[in-house]
């Protein structure tokens, strides 16, 4: 085992928190590791990566990486992994990591363990575990190739804490783009406007279902404000247009595992539960006592949400 | 435009909480109705929308080929897809335990080289394995551009697509020159998510995917359905990933029902200590 290459996820020149979950994986498997900071402003971002015990922090600071395009980034990641002799490449299981990792794996002829929630090292052999069947099973897999590519779930690999020290920073050259990069034109990034904490990183998430209708914001925002928290929504609420699509929690939306998840008027479809059942404490408010959400809620309140939420707000403030 | 849609048959995605474990630690889906992986159904709907004028869907303005890697009984799914408007189907005979995402990608490459489509569409994620890799690997093996997590597609002409990739908290708008590989989210079947150059911009589709009329299903029996061996499309059937046993995640036990908001807040403060 020659060690692990962690690919950092940058956003506007800043290290995203998901990166620290990938570092946590590297620390857990124990082999020496390097962190690759790649993007526009990557050398500045590298300074936030030196205190985690990495052998070195590699940087590819290139203006052409400003807007993420897989066909530009993947060749450089694969080349650095190959040249460095790293036998494991790990990325966060965000849309960035999930888009990039398979292309890198294919370039390296490597097996890919996607979206893992646990790794076990036993006598030199490594087994990866990942949720399957909408989170209703955990499947174990092994990789048969010498090089492994892995993406790790942020909800099950808590962010690594700085352990001190100062890893040396080393600038490395980029590889040529894939020929296909000439056929991809990045047009623009439309960022959803939100003053709230990111869903994937919030300590508390208040989520609403379709029954809130046009009053989604009016009812839930004061509660979210009172708890200083992120807002989420069921797929039904997003599909109906009551909540913006970026709030969707569930299999197709975001996977969250906050300390407290408050499900308001959410029935608990399988695909929703798959995205939030890792939450530490789950509260469900629903007027239907048979709603499946109550089967996984720590605290269930059978009441009309339009009565319960204002009351809850009053109690929390009081 | 010629579009290849890669599809997978899975156990009823709405009832996956009913799976069991066999004595060998394998996931047992007995009793669950086989259905297409929903995102693959959305990929097919996308392909149909891109190859028609939405105001006259009977006149096909392109070719849609569906392909799956599965045993013979998956032909029923392919027939149903031919009924909704696909022109041809290909089944590569294989069972799940002889496949991994990498091998499916290499097999699809073999099919793409023969079929020469302008576009390959896939669901962004498979419902059983929850894997999300075949499209990206296929794009790499073909040397094509990839666009994943796509919730919006506009076909400007038959040479390029303007797509919206849904990433955390944002949408990245990207123009890809064909041929390309695109993987789609559920949002792609909203009324105006696919804007074909053949369809008036004002046209809104019904929400979701279309269903085959009985007449169309009868007619689809005459549409071509080819069977290939895995060796016909992929020279090397070595797997890079081997799945072993599965386990059931710890069940979240139902907690307590509280009688009112006061009791709820008290419990959150003193028992759970989260507020």
Average pLDDT, chain A: 94
Give the helix/strand (H/E) hosting B167.
Answer: strand B160-167
Residue A82 Cα to chain centre, angstroms: 26
Q: Do domains A4-183 and A199-317 have the same CATH topology?
A: yes
Which residues, listed in sequence order, are joined to residue A249 by a DSSP beta bridge? A254
pLDDT-wise least confident of A63-72, A210-219, A304-313, B206-215: B206-215
- Tell me the backbone φ, ψ of residue A283, rounded to 5 degrees: -115, 135
Triad B106, B107, B108: Cα angle to 5°? 90
For A270, which of B17, B137, B147 is closest by C-beta distance? Answer: B17
- pLDDT tens, residue by residue, A120-145: 998 878 999 999 999 999 999 999 99
Rounded Cα–Cα distance for residues A127 and A150 (Å)? 11
At the topology level, CATH places domain A199-317 in: Rossmann fold (3.40.50)
Mutation site for A-interface testing, chosen from B149, B261, B262, B272 by largest number of A Cβ within 10 Å: B261
Rounded Cα–Cα distance for residues A260 and B269 (Å)? 12
Tell me if B261 and A301 make a contact (CB, 8 A cut-off): yes
Q: What is the DSSP letter of A12?
A: T
Work out the pLDDT band at A119, boundaries 50, 70, 90.
very high
**Torsion angle defined by CA atoms of residues A241, A244, A246 and A251, in that order, rounded to the nearest 10 degrees:** -30
Task: Say what the pLDDT of residue B158 is.
Answer: 84
Structure tokens at B150: 């796509």
Task: Say what the pLDDT of residue A188 is.
Answer: 96
Task: Say what the pLDDT of residue A1 is.
Answer: 45
Flag whether residue B22 sits within 8 Å of chain A, measured between CB atoms.
no
Residues of chain B above pLDDT 90, percent = 89
For A141, which of B11, B172, B242 is closest by C-beta distance? Answer: B242
In the predicted model, is pLDDT for residue B269 greater than 70?
A: yes
Q: What is the DSSP letter of A271?
A: H
Work out the pLDDT band at A191, boundaries 50, 70, 90.
confident
**What is the residue extent of each domain of chain B?**
2-250
Tell me if A198 and B168 make a contact (CB, 8 A cut-off): yes
A298 near A259, Cβ under 8 Å?
Answer: no
DSSP alpha helices (H): ranges in chain B? 38-50, 75-84, 101-115, 134-142, 214-220, 230-233, 261-270
- pLDDT tens, residue by residue, B92-143: 999 999 999 999 999 999 999 999 999 999 999 999 999 999 999 999 999 9
Work out the pLDDT band at A201, boundaries 50, 70, 90.
confident
Work out the pLDDT band at A222, boundaries 50, 70, 90.
very high
In the predicted model, is pLDDT for residue A318 greater than 80?
A: no
Task: Say what the pLDDT of residue A282 is.
Answer: 97
Task: Say what the pLDDT of residue A35 is.
Answer: 98
Rounded Cα–Cα distance for residues B42 and B83 (Å)? 15
The three-state secondary structure class of A170 is: strand
> Left, alpha or beta for A101 (phi > 0: left; psi -120 to 50: alpha)?
alpha
- The residue-averaged pLDDT of B154-172 equals 92
Tell me if A192 and B166 make a contact (CB, 8 A cut-off): no
Among chain A residues, the shortest Cα distance to B245 is held by: A140
Task: Say what the pLDDT of residue A209 is.
Answer: 97
Work out the pLDDT band at B5, boundaries 50, 70, 90.
very high
- pLDDT tens, residue by residue, A148-181: 999 999 989 999 999 999 999 999 999 999 999 9
In the predicted model, is pLDDT for residue B191 greater than 50?
A: yes
Per-residue burial over B141-152, b = 16 or more CB atoms within 10 Å of its CB, e = otherwise? bbebbbbbbbbb
Residue of A195 and B137 predicted with greater confidence: B137
Residues of chain B above pLDDT 70, percent = 100
**What is the residue extent of each domain of chain A?**
4-183, 199-317
Tell me if B174 and A183 make a contact (CB, 8 A cut-off): no
CATH value of B2-250 in 3.90.870.10, 3.40.50.620, 3.30.565.10, 3.50.50.60: 3.40.50.620
Rounded Cα–Cα distance for residues B174 and B169 (Å)? 16
List of residues 6+ apart from B100 with CB closer than 8 A: A111, B239, B240, B241, B242
Interface A–B counts its CB contacts (< 8 A) at: 271
CATH number of A4-183: 3.40.50.620
The three-state secondary structure class of A88 is: strand
* A164–chain B nearest CA distance, Å: 30
B150 near A131, Cβ under 8 Å?
Answer: no
In the predicted model, is pLDDT for residue A72 greater than 80?
A: yes
Of the candidates B149, B72, B140, the one whose C-alpha atom is nearest the C-alpha of residue B108 is B140
Rounded Cα–Cα distance for residues A69 and A96 (Å)? 10
Rounded Cα–Cα distance for residues B184 and B124 (Å)? 5
Task: Say what the pLDDT of residue A251 is.
Answer: 83
Flag whether residue B258 sits within 8 Å of chain A, measured between CB atoms.
yes
Work out the pLDDT band at A28, boundaries 50, 70, 90.
very high
Task: Say what the pLDDT of residue B157 is.
Answer: 86
Rounded Cα–Cα distance for residues A208 and A265 (Å)? 6
The three-state secondary structure class of B94 is: coil
Q: Could you report the predicted ipTM of this complex, rounded to two decimals? A: 0.95
Handedness of CA A260, A261, A265, A266 (dihedral sign): negative
In the predicted model, is pLDDT for residue B258 greater than 80?
A: yes
Sheet strands side by side (includes A260-264): A230-233, A204-208, A260-264, A281-286, A299-302, B256-258
Task: Say what the pLDDT of residue B217 is.
Answer: 86
Tell me if A299 and B264 make a contact (CB, 8 A cut-off): yes
Q: Provide, as residue numbers in chain A, all residues whose Cβ is less than 8 Å from the Cβ of B185.
A: 252
Task: Say what the pLDDT of residue A127 is.
Answer: 97
């Amino acid at each position: 085992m020659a060690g692990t290459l962690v690919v950092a996820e940058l956003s506007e020149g800043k290290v995203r928190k998901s990166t620290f979950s990938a570092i946590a994986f590297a620390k857990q498997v124990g082999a020496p590791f390097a962190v690759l900071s790649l993007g526009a402003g990557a050398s500045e971002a590298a300074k936030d990566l030196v205190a985690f015990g990495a052998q070195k922090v590699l940087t590819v600071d290139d203006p052409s990486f400003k807007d993420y395009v897989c066909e530009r980034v993947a060749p450089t990641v694969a080349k650095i992994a190959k040249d460095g002799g790293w036998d494991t490449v790990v990325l966060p299981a965000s849309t960035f990591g999930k888009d990039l990792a398979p292309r890198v794996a294919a370039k390296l002829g490597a097996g890919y363990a996607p979206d893992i929630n646990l790794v076990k090292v036993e006598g030199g052999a490594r087994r990866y575990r990942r949720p399957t069947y909408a989170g209703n099973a955990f499947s174990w897999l092994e990789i048969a190739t010498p090089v492994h590519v892995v993406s790790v779930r942020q909800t099950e690999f808590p962010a690594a804490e700085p352990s001190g020290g100062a890893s040396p920073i080393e600038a490395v050259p980029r590889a040529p783009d894939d020929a296909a990069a000439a056929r991809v034109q990045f047009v623009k990034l439309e960022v959803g406007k939100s003053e709230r904490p990111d869903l994937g990183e919030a300590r508390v998430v208040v989520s609403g279902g379709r029954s809130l209708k046009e009053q989604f914001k009016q009812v839930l925002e004061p509660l979210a404000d009172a708890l200083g928290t992120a807002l989420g929504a069921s797929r039904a609420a997003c599909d109906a247009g009551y909540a913006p699509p970026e709030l969707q929690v569930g299999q197709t939306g975001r996977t969250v595992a906050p300390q407290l998840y408050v499900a308001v008027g959410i029935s608990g479809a399988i695909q929703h539960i798959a995205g939030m059942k890792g939450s530490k404490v789950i509260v469900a408010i629903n007027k239907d006592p048979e709603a499946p959400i109550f089967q996984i809620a720590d605290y269930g309140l059978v009441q009309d949400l339009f009565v319960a939420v204002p009351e809850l707000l009053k109690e929390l403030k009081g | 435009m010629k579009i290849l849609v890669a599809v997978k048959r899975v156990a009823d995605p709405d009832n996956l909480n009913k799976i069991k474990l066999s004595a060998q630690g394998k996931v047992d889906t007995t009793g669950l109705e086989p259905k297409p992986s929903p995102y693959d159904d959305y990929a097919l709907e996308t392909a149909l929308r891109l190859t028609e004028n939405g105001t006259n869907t009977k006149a096909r303005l392109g070719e849609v080929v569906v392909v799956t890697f599965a045993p013979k009984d998956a032909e029923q799914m392919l027939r149903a897809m031919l009924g909704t408007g696909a022109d041809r189907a290909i089944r590569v005979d294989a069972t799940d335990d002889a496949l991994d995402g990498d091998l499916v990608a290499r097999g699809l490459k073999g099919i793409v080289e023969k079929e020469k489509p302008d576009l390959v569409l896939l669901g962004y994620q498979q419902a059983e394995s929850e894997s999300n890799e075949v499209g990206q690997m296929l794009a790499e093996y073909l040397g094509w551009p990839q666009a994943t997590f796509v919730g919006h597609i506009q076909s400007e002409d038959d040479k390029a697509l303007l797509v919206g990739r849904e990433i955390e908290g944002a949408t990245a708008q990207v123009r890809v020159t064909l041929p390309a590989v695109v993987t789609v989210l559920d949002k792609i079947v909203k009324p105006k998510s696919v804007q074909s150059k053949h369809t008036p911009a004002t046209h809104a589709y019904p929400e979701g995917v279309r269903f085959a009329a009985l007449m169309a299903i009868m007619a689809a029996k005459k549409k071509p359905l080819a069977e290939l061996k895995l060796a016909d499309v992929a020279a090397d059937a070595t797997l890079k990933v081997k799945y072993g046993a599965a386990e059931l995640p710890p069940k979240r036990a139902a907690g307590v029902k509280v009688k009112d908001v006061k009791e709820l807040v008290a419990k959150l403060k003193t028992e759970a200590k989260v507020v």
